[in-house]
Structure 1
């Protein structure tokens, strides 16, 4: 009888696992609540008008259209019955499995202040990106209209909370938008006067990078007009702005890049979790009490060589590839491969045009060369030749003309609450 493999989540880990299982005598079901795979590392460029949504996302069904062994379901998983080996969806659909891989990603965490979400959107999905883009562009449009100087200043003050790679890249890209792209478009306001404030509770930005690279990034941001505030604790966020310590800063656009929390997958599995809600797995990426269940990517708490594996795309892809090796070995009746070992490929972040940082451990790069390496590496990891060409052309157009092609205001002002995400 053909084995049934169910993969929940069409992110980097899930796609890698399904791709690596090609040619096995199995029936594979890939479930995701959305119909597309998203290249999250470039999502901030959608939010800041550099790229369009179609350049960073691809329909899952199209990716596996030639794989007759793969069935794709667009469904919202709500529970997992491990005893009966069934995945349960919101509409009542139940999917049987012999092997299960849960790679449902992570959502935002507001550290006990979920009420802040409506005032400070985060960046995890295409919907988040288009919402942020709308907030940014509408701020300039409203500033052009108003005759109230105080309101105009509040509209032209953007606050980004959290100075990890996402926060830094957002701040740098918004600075490019304000200083290089928009100035000639407006008549009553000077977009170059926009205040961009990057807030970090820690003592330096990009804490995961070499301190010298963090220092370079902070200096590069400041040269682009970004105010960097470290050691700053956010205590409240409202529609009027953000309170940092005891001081209240008027701002109509506050963006959240401060923290993530795993999807509720660990609850479905009844698994032990860490403080971020990630399921703790064994050195073979499986539940300690159930070797038929893998937990991968941002959903999993994985320790390799004594350190926790970071929640980045290369790590997720390595986990998906490893899970495929384990399943293949079991299907062939061969010994399982050695325990999973994460191979760190370096940390990258871009600050803006001609400025990026790369931390490879013993080797670090910054500046123009790092920016080119950053761009080439991201294009390389995009899916399909068409995507690589389109993104490269969009970047070339932006570089040569200092114009971004995605400056469209879409969606309404209605706030739609978000649930924890799959993929």
Structure 2
């Protein structure tokens, strides 16, 4: 698009916020450069299904170039932003290139937060990308293989001990699905172990799981988890994690701390904003999110917008949640703001419309809170399934997901149980797959 004199909008991030802004500008008199360090858009709410072998990566992801192939005012650029010069209105890429912009939208999402214990990341992987999902899938499936080959009872028990740290929607979904895999999917497939004897624990430092849901739904979710075989531990923070297991409570207080041997610990306890926010000379909150103005622009820089998990937005005295619907709405709002400015019209303040919370727990088990209307159990599960399939991008993705879920429902099988890849960071005393 060299030589194009139209208003240049640079959008960083092809997630919900960035993609929705891009598509909303399809008919606008602008040219758009969409930058992402990955070539695909990911439907993150179903990422746990890839991590637990229920779906394959292409089922929940689509190439950005394919999605935007008919939108002629967009150029997709594979790259990573490493610097922003707000005064010169340029972004510099890691490959040495740079782009000038008239309007900039940062929608680069979030990453894992270990609350000051970044050293835990190696032994307790989080779930944000397809790479994360495939690594977790490998660890989970290999844990059963290691237990099958192990002759020491204590070591075998450690391989069959799974812990998910964090009782939010991702943690609940992971824990419930792990219990289903152990008790149903892998049934009769091993000779030396009974996978149903695997221990799955959900660890939540707060008083209850799904704290963003009404208390009654939270209690129902815990009961559904326990019926699936998940042991729910609340009110006890994790104090340490290493390749051998984890500690509940402060490790320095040996009398009240409990050390649990577990070779598979998964992290779902917290998120932090993308490091991209630190490139702006703008106020940020404790999680690194940029404190934006009412129209989602950066203070002092009306030409720079921030959307999605990178934006810190207050509404009615409460923070707008870092969920996919909020990111989509922010992206659409930024597109409307750009159109308004080009037309010389005032830009309205962003207003988030909360359509409710959904979380699945396992087969035919879920909780739904939609504007005070609460559901749990089978009806909630069908509602959750319909909503997620509806919002998937592309007819092919929807059809494949429906077929896979129908097969899993009747057979309890998960078709994506192929172990591949190489081990990370071998250790001299602990099998490398525990790391």
Normalising by structure 2, report the TM-score. 0.94
Measured after TM superposition, the shift of residue 415 of structure 1 is 4.5
**Which of 293, 312, 316 is residue 323 of structure 2 equivalent to?**
312
Higher RCO (C-alpha 8 Å, min separation 6): 1
**Which of 114, 119, 127 is residue 110 of structure 1 equivalent to?**
114
Runs of 5+ consecutive residues of structure 1 not aligned to the other structure? 417-423
Tell me the equivalent position of 2:99.
95
Tell whether 2:160 aligns with 1:171: no
The count of corresponding residues between Structure 1 and Structure 2 is: 415
Query: In 2, Cα distance between the equivalents of 1:335 and 1:198?
Result: 48
Tell me the equivalent position of 1:144.
148
Tell me the equivalent position of 1:420.
none
Equivalent residue of 2:368, what SS?
A: strand
Q: CA RMSD for the aligned pairs?
A: 1.0
Tell me the equivalent position of 1:388.
398
Equivalent residue of 1:405, what SS?
A: coil
Tell me the equivalent position of 1:400.
410
Measured after TM superposition, the shift of residue 23 of structure 1 is 1.2
**Which of 253, 260, 266 is residue 255 of structure 1 equivalent to?**
266
Cα shift readout 1:282-338 (whole Å, capped 9, x = no counterpart): 0100012111000000001011233210000000000011111111111122332x2
Query: In 1, Cα distance between the equivalents of 2:338 and 2:221?
Result: 43
Tell me the equivalent position of 1:28.
32
Measured after TM superposition, the shift of residue 24 of structure 1 is 1.3
**Which of 375, 378, 383 is residue 385 of structure 2 equivalent to?**
375
Tell whether 2:83 aligns with 1:79: yes
Measured after TM superposition, the shift of residue 351 of structure 1 is 0.6
Query: In 2, Cα distance between the equivalents of 1:267 and 1:281?
Result: 13
Query: In 2, Cα distance between the equivalents of 1:185 and 1:95?
Result: 55
Cα shift readout 1:342-366 (whole Å, capped 9, x = no counterpart): 0001000011111100012321110
Contact 2:355–2:371 at 8 Å: present in 1 too? no
Equivalent residue of 1:117, what SS?
A: helix
Tell me the equivalent position of 1:278.
289
**Which of 57, 61, 68 is residue 57 of structure 1 equivalent to?**
61
Measured after TM superposition, the shift of residue 414 of structure 1 is 1.8
Query: In 1, Cα distance between the equivalents of 2:47 and 2:425?
Result: 20
Query: In 2, Cα distance between the equivalents of 1:242 and 1:364?
Result: 35
Tell me the equivalent position of 1:303.
314
Query: In 2, Cα distance between the equivalents of 1:252 and 1:95?
Result: 46
Measured after TM superposition, the shift of residue 247 of structure 1 is 0.7
**Which of 355, 358, 377 is residue 348 of structure 1 equivalent to?**
358
Query: In 1, Cα distance between the equivalents of 2:407 and 2:328?
Result: 31
Equivalent residue of 2:379, what SS?
A: helix
Query: In 1, Cα distance between the equivalents of 2:237 and 2:41?
Result: 35
Contact 1:15–1:320 at 8 Å: present in 2 too? yes
**Which of 182, 189, 193 is residue 185 of structure 1 equivalent to?**
189
Query: In 2, Cα distance between the equivalents of 1:264 and 1:196?
Result: 33
**Which of 6, 11, 30 is residue 7 of structure 1 equivalent to?**
11
Query: In 2, Cα distance between the equivalents of 1:304 and 1:146?
Result: 54
Cα shift readout 1:28-72 (whole Å, capped 9, x = no counterpart): 000001111111100000011100001011111111112221111
**Which of 206, 211, 220 is residue 207 of structure 1 equivalent to?**
211
Normalising by structure 1, report the TM-score. 0.97
Runs of 5+ consecutive residues of structure 2 not aligned to the other structure? 250-256, 427-435
Tell whether 2:368 aligns with 1:358: yes
Equivalent residue of 1:71, what SS?
A: strand
Measured after TM superposition, the shift of residue 217 of structure 1 is 0.7
Q: Write out aligned runs for 1:221-236 (5 A).
A: 221-236=225-240
Contact 1:346–1:358 at 8 Å: present in 2 too? yes
Contact 1:176–1:352 at 8 Å: present in 2 too? yes
